[in-house]
Amino acid sequence: MNSIYPLGRWLGVLVLAIMLSAWGPAAQVQAQSRNLPDFTNLVDQVGPSVVNIRTIEKVQRGAEQDAQTPDEEMQELLRRFFGIPMPGPRQPQPQRPDRAQPEEKQRGIGSGFILTPDGFIMTNAHVVQGADQVIVTLTDKREFKARIVGADRRTDVAVVKIEANGLPAVRIGDVSRLRAGQWVMAIGSPFGLDNTVTAGIVSAKARDTGDYLPFIQTDVAINPGNSGGPLINMNGEVVGINSQIYSRSGGFMGISFAIPIDEAMRISDQLRASGRVQRGRIGVQIDQVSKEVAESLGLSKPQGALIRAVEPGGPADKAGIEAGDIILQVENTAIEKANDLPRQIGNLRPGSRATLQVWRRGAQRDIAVTIGEFEPEKTASRQRANEEDRKATATRHWGLQVSELTDNQKRELKIKGGVRVEAVAEAAARAGLREGDVITAIANTEITNLAEWEALAARLDKSRPVNVLFRRGEWAQYALIRPTR
């Protein structure tokens, strides 16, 4: 009996070990799942504050669109595919005055979020730009016609207003406390699918893409239609507006960008107060300070903004700033890289005085400058008139309407040429192109003007996919346009 008991105990331990080994992975997975974030409460909390934004544009139906009536189109179809002869030609009908009446056409879909219970909503400027009508749909399926309070294209921030009260407004978070690696969530309408929730982490802060604002970079899945929706931290607070994606196909590729909410709120406050944004300027052309330049001038490290040229009679010229100066600080705020300067100056009120810390010929000095005003963006009526002028000379291929670049646009983008996208539809929209993009090459061939675009487009097979190289701000990327079959 004494020899049997140790054997039984050993068998019991063996069975227990086998059971633990079988349960171990499941228990381990369960423990790991407890460490993953749960977004359900955040969705319940913030979801009702996110809206779908649909824009409508009134298009003038041209005479060429009315050249064939439905009956004539059917006759042509019967003749071409079934060999049925068409009847004799119809007598021309007198043109009716109502043939050129404008038609409503859905222009695009985006997202937004409720700022105040009385109906102020924030979104991207490119979502509502050029729209004749803006329709806001809440999560309870109520629809409202929205009024565009103001839109700032330089920062891509817009505010619209609907007539409603008691709406669930978002809470604004503190971007300064946001850190790379933190979990964040987005809610929006990718591809028109309302209230879609995606999540990821903050990849980087203050990512400089060459635009007017530094962006929050994330790996949250953002696709066309997400634009204008909120980026939310784990406290249920909005920390950014989803604005851009980096993509070669028009779809999500793991890199997306959001406008920091503190900057967006500063813009929205001005839009709500006056319908436009005032920005400061001093009238200089700037460049980065290279390591070689910093060493040659006695700077301890490459920093600041190198002044390449000074606008004659401008604020900087009047203050005594010279070409070759390096601006190190604006009102005690350090200028680490060149793009920091226009951002800091732009935040200052026109007419105010600011002290700039300048490095000149191996010595540091302070210079006071009176801030000028950046050229205001065109009013809606002026902008629409200019757009119509451009569209009069624009052409269409692959769902793209493009026009000639102006000399100012070439200088701003620092490119030799290309064509500006005025409108997108069908294949081009699916590829991720949008109004304002600048196409610099097509089918691996560089183009510098509208005539070259036309000549090349005429030679290409419109039924085959074609790659285009385009610029959006300072970023260049490829898109593959696949024609509808």
CA-closest candidate to residue 108, choices 95, 85, 125, 96: 125
Question: 226 to each of 156, 187, 199, 231, how far by Cα in Å?
Answer: 14, 7, 13, 10
The pair of three-digit structure tokens given for residue 148, joined into one six-digit string: 């565009």
H/E segment holding residue 284? strand 284-288
Structure tokens that stand for 91 in this block: 């007598």
Residue 117 structure tokens: 């219970």
Count of other CB atoms within 10 angstroms of residue 117 = 12
Q: Pairing relation of β-strands 400-404 and 419-424? A: antiparallel
227 classed as catalytic: yes
C-alpha to C-alpha distance for 132 and 57, rounded to whole angstroms = 5
Tokens coding 73: 């189109």
Active site residue 156: yes
d(CA 208, CA 221): 20
Catalytic residue among 152, 156, 194, 325: 156
For the record, the structure tokens of 353 come out as 């005085």
CB of 228 within 8 A of CB of 122?
yes
235 φ/ψ angles, rounded to the nearest 5 degrees: -95, 5
CA 65-87-97 angle, to 5 degrees, is: 35
Residue 27's contacts (CB-CB under 8 Å, 6 or more residues apart) are none
Cα torsion through 359, 363, 367, 372, rounded to 10: -20
150 touches 271 (CB < 8 A): yes
Q: Which amino acid is at 210?
A: G
Q: Cβ–Cβ contacts within 10 Å for residue 84, how many?
A: 10
Q: What is the CA radius of gyration of the chain?
A: 29
Identify any residues that bridge with 232 across adjacent strands, giving them in sequence order: 185, 238
- Whether 126 is catalytic is yes
Measured CA to CA, the distance from residue 119 to residue 110 in angstroms comes to 17
- Whether 369 and 329 have beta carbons less than 8 Å apart is answered as no
Q: Which of 111, 189, 203, 227 is catalytic?
A: 227
Q: Do residues 321 and 309 touch, judged by C-beta distance below 8 A?
A: no
Phi, psi dihedrals of residue 319, rounded to the nearest 5°: -80, -15
The one catalytic residue among 126, 203, 247, 325: 126
Q: Active-site positions?
A: 126, 156, 227
